[in-house]
Structure 1
Amino acid sequence: MGEFGVVRRQFGHRARLALSPAEIRVMDDQAHAARTLWNCLHSWWQMMPKGKRTLAGADAAIRQARKDLDYLAVLPAQAAQAVLKTYHRAWVNCWEGRAQEPTYKGRFRAPMSVDIPQGRDLNIVRVHRRWGMVNIPKVGRVRFRWTKDLPVGKRANQENRITGARLVKDALGWHIAFRVQTIERAPGPHQGPEVGIDAGVSIPLALSNGDHQDHGRATWTPGGTSDRDKWLNADEKARLLRLEHKAARLKQHRKKGERTSNRLRAVYDQIRALRAKAKRRAEDWQHKTTTYLAQTYGVIVVERLNILGMTKAPAPRPDPDNAGAFLHNGAAAKAGLNRAIAQEAWGRTVTMLTYKTDRCGGRLVKVPAPYTSQRCSACGFTVPGSRASQELFVCKNPDCGWTANADWNAARNILHLYRIGHVVVEVPAAGRRGRRAGKTVKPTAAM
């Protein structure tokens, strides 16, 4: 296998399910049963004394509840055990300071999901190029969209297999998320060039070598306006506007404290479906773009950004001419910029680059963010007023006068910081924990 050995990786793959109305009802009932079981388990846990809060006691309570309540019996036994394991893990995370205490799940707030912990129960078969078949407990054989080669059939073994799955429902319907474990050849060092990347709103990803990545959908203009639905076409935007107006009219007739009507809830579901479609298109562009970058460049340098601090609204200032009043302080323009930053999802882009550069043998490096957009990449001076606008950089140094796109100038500065050693975080090519990268293992004779 060469000097690099092999790497064990664990990752997830999500696929869309093609269900009939009857199958949708069965899966909805299972998801509601799983949520109800969680709530019953939470009540039991709070009611019992601390000395009797054990996994064995909780398991016995779950088994008895499934016998007494037919509604809970629609949930497969292994899925019920998965609810117990997930609930106990939530408490462990709380005790170790990684999360807050688990609480009750609301019917309309909590996401609908059902776990299939055993991969051998799935019996996955590829039907043809576009579709596959999977077995779902108490539902039967169901088609799913085949968009990625999975280790099934003769390709599956102890090291390359599907270890389980989770059924998840969102605004676009039911999906299945497979948990995949594979053994792959460990990649050698990537021989590609170095590149600095600046995440912006005029150019989504500006590269130091000029190979900018743009999705062609304007997000924000210096006047402060923002296109909230830039990933929808004109007809979809018009439909979304009609639905929002309809929801506003229906909401006027709802009294305070009154439950949302079924008609209003149906309108909300249509709005969520359009929002989910826009998010899916944005993630598709991010996946394709980050894959291209990870395969092309050996070292990718980005800023370590405090996105939460960047999207804070400006504090209002008192109006000196009007007692008790406050100045707007550019709040409308800042709100548009904040929406544009949130829509670009810079953090998700960096997360994708992190595990994709690892799989390609490259490196991801983070450098300090201050003054990268205000420093001239040609002369190296930081002169006040050089950032002429959100899109244009004009160096005010009398001996320079360099003019360029502001995001491109920042990308050049980001790469320069890496080359002179100002590195904050460097992600190694192997040895990281987590879902996207596993530990390196020695090659065996069989491989």
Structure 2
Amino acid sequence: MSTERVQEKRQFGHRARLTLTPAQIRLMDGQAHAARTMWNCLHEWWSMLPRDKRSPAAADVAIRQARKETDWLGVLPAQAAQAVLKTYLQAWRNCWDGRADAPNFKARVRTVMSVDIPQGRDLNITRVHRRWGMVNIPRIGPVRFRWTKDLPAGKHATTTSRVTGARLVKDALGWHIAFRVQTLETKPGPHTGPHVGIDAGVNLPLALSDGNHRDHGRPPRLPDGTADRDKWLNPKEKTKLLDLERRAAQRKQHRGPGEKTSRRLRHTYDQIKQLRAKATRRAVDWQHKTTTSSIAAQYGTIVVEHLNIKNMVKSAKGTIDSPGKNVARKSGLNRSISQEAWGRTVTMLTYKTARQGGALHKVPAPGTSLRCSACGLTTPGSREDQATFLCKNHDCGWSGNADWNAARNVLHLYRMGRALTPAAGRAVVRRPRDVKPATAR
């Protein structure tokens, strides 16, 4: 009997913080603005041309000509400009296949500043010491980055384990680099762990069917009962955020109609964004640690609900003819659902369970929180509040945590063969391939 294990390619990303000088920041900002403008010019050129004259080759010639004629577009490296074209063409393919909307204009304010480095050999990654590494960015030079994960760089890079490229991304906390890493690893065997059903909630973030719930230790509501929108910040940071929001509101009152935002107000907005970004990082860090060590490594089969989160967070304002009810309460619930980021948790569990040799399945969501997991009946009035479930069936009378009850129902649906297929779980309406959208001409 052969004991050889099957090798498979694995691609993943690793994001690290960059340490830049003021001059390097200006150069990198210039490249990001040039990449955004290149996208907008390409979009206008593509939209104005007749359909029979559009081709990747013609677009490539147009990009080369634009970089020669416009000096400030030339600051963008040639490989990065080609990456803009490749991304734009892929955006149209996604639109034609029904996976996304048509590409559109990228505004200066609402667009994330980014530059792609498609060639990994141009990076020249080296490790300086335990905490810092060095990477070479085209037309920027060597830049230090925070070394938090071992990368296949230098003498450790091989044909099967290497960095294939990177992407520079700027957020409220500064510039970061996201490495694209490709390795050859042993394919994991089937996970022999138990089955578990998971119910995502607001009061209890992740309720497991076996009772081993996962909580981030931050109450979703304040003592007065209102939703805590800044639960990932400590008290000192919450006080600072409240002061910045009041300061921004006061300075905004002095801006007349049509006037530009003052420098002081922009600086206040930047400080608010930094605190929001810090809270988001802490939430993502908790999700990564919880889904990896506490769930994917322990359980072989994970079952979750197929939730349409976009419809769940719709506003309850209604229309003028038929106004909604409990609008403020629904607004707080929508904010709490968005903060928990259930979709991101499911995405993490999908690839992490596959990496461990397990599997993730989705089941229909309707009725899981209203049905009793002990008797299997849905009795009106059993779910009186968000925390407790008390079965009103006279022959049952079971009581317990409402989220735990829903998690047991989720697992029961999977064992009854109610798991959705991948196509049904995606719930994407695809348009026929021979029908193109009107914007594609």
C-alpha change, 1:426 and 1:171, in structure 2 (3 Å) is same
Assess, with a 3 A threshold, how the Cα gap between structure 1 residues 20 and 393 changes in structure 2: closer, same or farther.
same
Counterpart check, 1:143 vs 2:139: no
2:208, 2:147 → 1: CA distance?
A: 34
Deviation, 1:49, is 4.0
- The residue aligned with 1:353 is 349
- Give me the whole-angstrom Cα distance separating, in 2, the residues matched to 1:310 and 1:336: 12
Q: 1:258: Cα distance to partner?
A: 2.7
Q: What amino acid does structure 2 have at the position aligned with 1:353?
A: L
Per-residue CA deviation, residues 126-167 of structure 1 (Å, 9 max, x unaligned), is: 122221111001111111111222112233222211111110
Deviations 1:334-371 (A, max 9, x none): 22122111111111101100000000001111122122
How far is the alpha carbon of 1:247 from its aligned partner? Answer: 1.3
Match of 2:117 in 1: 116
Counterpart of 1:31?
Answer: 32
Which among 333, 341, 353 is matched to residue 337 of structure 1? 333
Contact 1:317 1:329 in 2 (8 A): no
Among 412, 416, 427, the alignment partner of 2:408 is 412
1:224 CA drift (Å) = 5.9
- 1:297 alignment counterpart: 299
Contact 2:368–2:410 (CA<8 Å) still a contact in 1?
yes
TM-score, scaled to structure 1: 0.89
1:383 equivalent to 2:384? Answer no
Question: Could you tell me which amino acid in structure 2 is paired with residue 66 of structure 1?
Answer: R
**Aligned mates of 2:115, 2:47 — CA distance in 1:** 24
Cα–Cα, structure 1 residues 182 and 146, in superposed 2: closer, same or farther, change >3 Å? same
CA contact (8 A) 1:134 1:141 kept: yes
- Percent identity between matched residues is 68
**Contact kept in structure 1, 2:307 and 2:365, CA below 8 Å:** yes
Give the CA deviation at 1:269. 1.2
Question: How much has 1:221 moved relative to structure 2?
Answer: 7.2
Aligned position for 1:274: 275
Q: Which residue of 2 aligns with 1:176?
A: 177
**Is 1:387–1:393's contact at 8 Å kept on the other side of the alignment?**
yes
**Partners of 2:392 and 2:105 in 1: how far apart?**
58
Alignment equivalent of 1:393, drawn from 373, 379, 389: 389
Q: Secondary structure at the match of 2:139?
A: coil
- Report the equivalent of 2:73: 72
CA distance change for structure 1 residues 248 and 20 in 2, over 3 Å: closer, same or farther?
same
**Per-residue deviation, residues 367-395 of structure 1 (Å, max 9, x unmatched):** 22122111222222221111121001111
Q: Which amino acid in structure 2 is aligned with residue 171 of structure 1?
A: A
- The CA deviation at 1:230 is 0.6
Q: Gaps spanning 5+ residues in structure 2: where?
A: 424-441
Paired letter, 2:311: G
* Contact 1:125/1:132, CA 8 A, preserved across alignment: yes
- Residues 420-442 of structure 1, C-alpha deviations (whole Å, 9 max, x = no match): 22222479xxxxxxxxxxxxxxx
CA distance in 2, matches of 1:338, 1:49: 44
Q: Which amino acid aligns with 1:252?
A: Q
Letter aligned with residue 312 of structure 2? M
Change (3 A) 1:8 1:174: same
Measure, in 2, the Cα distance between the counterparts of 1:144 and 1:315: 47
Pair 1:374–1:49, CA change in 2 (3 A): closer
Q: Counterpart of 2:9?
A: 8
Task: State how far apart, in whole Å, the 2-side matches of 1:62 and 1:158 are.
Answer: 32
Measure, in 2, the Cα distance between the counterparts of 1:116 and 1:88. Answer: 17
CA displacement, residues 55-113 of structure 1 (integer Å, 9 cap, x when unaligned): 33332332232222221121112112212222222233334433333232222221111
**Bigger CA drift: 286-295 or 326-335?**
326-335
- Residue-by-residue CA offset, 1:168-207 (whole Å, 9 max, x unaligned): 1011110101111111100001111111111111111011
Please report how far the alpha carbon of residue 45 of structure 1 lies from its aligned counterpart in structure 2 after TM superposition: 2.8
How do 1:85-104 residues align onto structure 2 when only pairs under 5 Å count?
A: 85-104=86-105
Shift of the 206–59 alpha-carbon distance from structure 1 to 2, 3 Å rule, reads: same
Q: Partner residue of 1:82?
A: 83
Change (3 A) 1:317 1:50: closer
Q: Which letter does structure 2 place at the counterpart of 1:234? A: P
Query: Is the CA contact 2:222–2:228 (under 8 Å) kept in the aligned structure 1?
Result: no
* Cα contact 1:298–1:361 (8 A) shared by 2: yes
Could you tell me which residue of structure 1 aligns to residue 168 of structure 2? Answer: 167
Partner AA of 1:362 in structure 2: G
Q: Which residue of 2 aligns with 1:309?
A: 311
The 3-state SS of whatever aligns with 2:217 is coil
SS of corresponding position for 1:251: helix
Secondary structure at the aligned position of 1:385 is classed as coil
State the SS of the aligned residue for 2:32: helix
Match of residue 367 from structure 1: 363
Query: For structure 1, which segment, 147-156 or 25-34, has the greater mean C-alpha deviation from structure 2 after superposition?
Result: 147-156
Aligned to 2:284: 283
Contact 1:224 1:337 in 2 (8 A): no
Counterpart of 1:312 in 2: which secondary structure?
coil
